[in-house]
Amino acid sequence: MTELQRAPQPGAEDLTDHLRDRWSVSVFDDSHELTTDEVRRLLTAAQWAPSAGNSQPWSFLVATRGSVAHDVLVKHLSRGNSGWVPRASAVFITLAQVAEDPEGNGPKWPTYSYYDLGQAAAHLTVQAAAMGLASHQFAGFDHDAVAADLDVPAWWQVMTGIAVGVRGNPADVDPRDAEREDRERTRRPLSQIAFGERWGVAWEG
Ligand SMILES: Cc1cc2nc3c(=O)[nH]c(=O)nc-3n(C[C@H](O)[C@H](O)[C@H](O)COP(=O)(O)O)c2cc1C
């Protein structure tokens, strides 16, 4: 599959470049490292996402390849993710605050914590694309084991990992991991997701 075929299409030609550039890379260069400044910039993109009541109910465990947090995560990856995730330069483990802490501090509207974290994650991945970096989010790991091993308090919920790095050579990885990148990228049509007159009636634009 060519880079162009990986871009969302048809109908998405006019999206901003960084949205068009983003796709979930599964072959990372395992010799690449992110600089501290790059990691800070990615976190800053997430930090500046909007949230309900500006509650910012998100946090991130920065697991750079070779760090203690990374070793813990790698141990608990699902089989399908255990080949490609460890090669990324860093994994941002995302967490949502879903209840008050023992001092009574917490998200004003916990219902929106997941929404807000997802938005922060999206900002991070689009910032990554703008920096020429590849990313791939994943939920396939043992969340409880990661939370326990990394001392996550009960009022925070481990949600996903965001693997970030640069794309590697498919010839360097297990063919099953290389093949993941050749899957066609598809989306439901707008007529199924955008409604006008009322729910279920396709928006006519
Ligand atoms: C919450 C979430 C969980 C995901 N979990 C996994 C996963 O465990 N393994 C994986 O390979 N991809 C995972 N993905 C990536 C999706 O499969 C991918 O985003 C989707 O197929 C669309 O592809 P694209 O990002 O290239 O547009 C996950 C994405 C999200 C947002």
Residues 132-180 have pLDDT tens digits of: 999 999 999 999 999 999 999 999 999 999 999 999 999 999 999 999 9
When mean pLDDT is compared across 2-6, 162-166, 199-203, the lowest value belongs to: 2-6
Mean pLDDT rounded to a whole number for the chain: 94
**Is it the case that residue 110 has pLDDT exceeding 70?**
yes
Most informative mutation of 9, 87, 119, 138 for ligand 1 (most atoms within 8 A of CB): 138
Give CA 118 to chain center in angstroms: 8
**Is it the case that residue 6 has pLDDT exceeding 80?**
no
Residue 182: how many CB atoms within 10 A of its CB? 11
CA of 197 to the centre of ligand 1 (A): 32
- CB burial class (10 A; 0-12, 13-18, 19+) of residue 133? buried
Q: How many residues does the chain have?
A: 205
State the amino acid at position 133 in one-letter form: L
d(CA 62, CA 92): 5
Which tokens sit at 159?
């949600």
Which tokens sit at 44?
């800053």
Is 24-177 CATH 3.40.109.10? yes
With bands split at pLDDT 50, 70 and 90, how would you rate the model's confidence at 205? confident
Q: Which residues pair with 95 in a beta bridge?
A: 59, 158
CA torsion sign for 151, 44, 110, 160 is negative
With bands split at pLDDT 50, 70 and 90, how would you rate the model's confidence at 191? very high
Mean pLDDT of 195-202: 97
Mean pLDDT of 71-79: 98
Mean pLDDT of 85-97: 98
More confident position, 12 or 129? 129
Residue closest by Cα to atom 23 of ligand 1: 24
**Is it the case that residue 116 has pLDDT exceeding 90?**
yes
Q: Given the CA of residue 24, which atom of ligand 1 is nearest to it? A: 26
CA of 100 to the centre of ligand 1 (A): 29
**Is it the case that residue 103 has pLDDT exceeding 60?**
yes
Query: Among 39, 18, 56, 8, which Cα is nearest to 162's?
Result: 39
**Is it the case that residue 3 has pLDDT exceeding 60?**
no
Task: Evaluate: CB of 135 within 6 angstroms of ligand 1.
Answer: no
- Using a pLDDT cut of 70, give the percent of the chain over it: 97
